Structure 1
Amino acid sequence: MATAPTRGKPTQTVSPLTLLLWQETLLSWGIPLFLIGVIAVVALLGAFGQIAQPTGVAILGCLLLLLVGFSLFRTVLTGTVEPRLKALTWGLGFAWIAITWAQLYFAVFVGQEMVSGFVSADGGGIVLPLGAQGTVYDLVVEGSFTTAAGEVGREAGYRLLLEKDGQKVQELDGVFSEHWARQRLGRRGSTTSRRLHNHVLHRLLSPGEGPYQLSIVRIDPQLTPTLHVTLYRDTYPAKTFWLLSVLLLIGAYVGELLHAEKEAPLVLVTASALAFVLTFRNLGVPPHGYQDVVGAVMIAAIAGPLGGWLFRLIADAVSKGLFPHQKKRLTKNR
């Protein structure tokens, strides 16, 4: 059976303008909304205990950083960009994600748990097997308040003694707190919320390899006479990450100069992302929870732009002094 020839019949083609509109919609709305949806799903799974807390916290933090990084570099890479400049910007983007994700990973997964147990005021201690001199450990101390009459705020402290062969090595002091605050519910209702801080993190530097005895010297009577302690070996390469963070800020500053016509806030957003991962590590104690992610986001939203602004002022002054003519040429379109 013969078929009719198709020569001369109109064929459907997609215009370049339509493709451009679809691409713009995908970059502006599609991918960000998809990431926000995944963030919401992970948060719900974590809230209902369907995902391990360290895994959920790490995934949630990485997705937040990916969303911020994508929104930032999408502005820079869209439109007309020189091929050489685009390659450099892609490299900066990958470095941005890698450095922030790595810091978050090491902050969530703090290292190997060496020992976990209890120390009590009646003389019961615990042995800490410390490694070679200079090895860094994280010692997490957890306590509980005794039952109080009414909703009253209180603080209570303790002192631990680290010794070896009966010789005093170091004393560790900490304070727990419990506060109550009124919180509004709707227009007229209110409720009382409890704010409890019953974990303290101590950085412990090993004075030498061997077993050490940890015991209670003093504990406030408002606390139960037993404290729970957990020793982690600190694997966080702080000096390396500080160096990488400074280099990343310098790269963001150079990127701002190269993309001056787009006015992308590379320095401010990069400083905010670094403030988030640094704050998260020092906010709370291991194992970090979802509330630490929320707290780090709130602090980074304020401290990050301020730190980025100060860094830009310093970088402007330094670059103006070192490369006055180059600086003027790069910023003439800003």
Structure 2
Amino acid sequence: MQKILNVALAKRSYPITIGENLLSGFQHFKLQAGQRVLIATNETIAPLYLQTLIDMLEKHGVKTDSVVVPDGEKYKTIETWNSILTTLLANNHTRSSILIALGGGVIGDVAGFAASAYQRGIKFIQVPTTLLSQVDSSVGGKTAINHPLGKNMIGAFYQPQSVVIDLSCLKTLPQRELSAGLAEVIKYGIILDTKFFDWLEEHINDLLNLDVNALSYCIYHCCELKAQVVAADETEQNMRAILNLGHTYGHAIEAELGYGNWLHGEAVSVGMLMAAQTAKLLGKLDQTDIERIKNLLIRAKLPVNRPKKMSIESYLPHMLRDKKVLSGQLRLVVPTKIGHVEVMDGIDKSIVLESIANV
């Protein structure tokens, strides 16, 4: 059973197709015989799915090249980005070529950014293989690379031609990566949908056990929620910032400890609890809601305590480099109840530090 969702962005609208064994289905990719593609993937995914995708595309007359880059957040760099561009150039790809990102959030972000830059922009297709990338990073057109001084600070808003979400890829996903993806799933319930949060409390074990029906509903609904936000505020001028719940704190953890030592979803899990503590100190969130959030994160096998190797004071320099900072003032997303958040400016730094210390 397949589900198709449309991201409504006028002339740049595109479909998200969700189902099993989609890598074998040519029709999902919206390609034509004679077209040229470059598949960008990583060393972990290549042995699992690259040849399957190449064989399917070439069977239908699509000419393929591929580039395999190292796996991991620490390789979300200008060097990896450049290696994709070099492959495009070395194989004489043109403006009519299409870049396919086969992998998790790192591949999707780096390849999407390369597509945005190559000959001032070529089409690309997202084929996310991790839960985190399927519910979040593959949808919405945020592409970027990291810098030692900040995560995702160099990039572009650049929408894909389509997103193909093959649920079968999750069968090879390590447990830790699956849990990291659930952090972004839980985020949607906290920021936008109380009933979805309730559903997650009831079905979190089904998701951990890769129940296809639960996964299909969950991924579709997360993409649906994100698509609504992106359609309303594509370039994050206002509303889209709510999707960053926990990310300002979480990005600080990732940057300080070294990209990849904590997975993105793990850092976001702790970051959401820090945001919840901030809301509590501001008198905006009840302890009961904090406990529900914490218990669901624990059940999803996610961390709920800050890394002890990192001092409380070390968060602020990273947080002040966040893209949401305005005129030197922190701008944070804080939950006011499960299902609703606010974007707040000018929160006193002492409150932020206390909220970090409480997690």
TM class, shorter-chain normalised? under 0.3
* Structure label with greater radius of gyration: 1
TM-score, normalised with respect to structure 1: 0.21
Higher relative contact order (CA 8 A, sep 6+): 1
TM-score, normalised with respect to structure 2: 0.20
